[in-house]
Amino acid sequence: MNDWRELKLMTKALGDVARLTIVYHLARHNDVTVTDLTAMLSISQPLVSWHLRKLRRAGLVETRRAGRQVYCSLNLQRFHLCLQWLENLGDPAMVVEAPLAGAALIEADAAIQD
């Protein structure tokens, strides 16, 4: 059950073009400042920070502060785990945790908060 919650959290975080673009840039650079991401995406700094917060809550992005700058990096291990779980869902040879059904499915989905 926990794997399903984690996968939902990660896929929801990746379910936005701006956040996918952030992941794209972070995958190609070791550390990127929020200021640099703002320039790369041509959107406001508060909006970049909002998107980063979603990715950070899902464990996909890590941040560190150095003076006034905030540096961001992609948590590659967590990102690859998400990809592996998604791949396992589509592979009939792989056994994954049994999916829920009915009321238990609705209750579990409602319990997952962003």
Using pLDDT thresholds of 50, 70 and 90, give the confidence band for residue 23: very high
Paired strand residues for 49: none
> Which CATH number describes the domain made up of 2-111?
1.10.10.10
The total of other beta-carbon atoms located within 10 Å of residue 37's CB is: 23
Residue ranges of E strands in the chain:
32-33, 61-66, 69-74
The per-residue pLDDT for 77 is 96
The per-residue pLDDT for 91 is 79
The per-residue pLDDT for 18 is 96
pLDDT tens-digit profile of 63-112?
A: 999 999 999 999 999 999 999 988 888 877 776 666 667 777 777 767 65
The per-residue pLDDT for 93 is 79
Mean pLDDT of the chain: 88
59 closest CA partner among 74, 47, 45, 37: 74
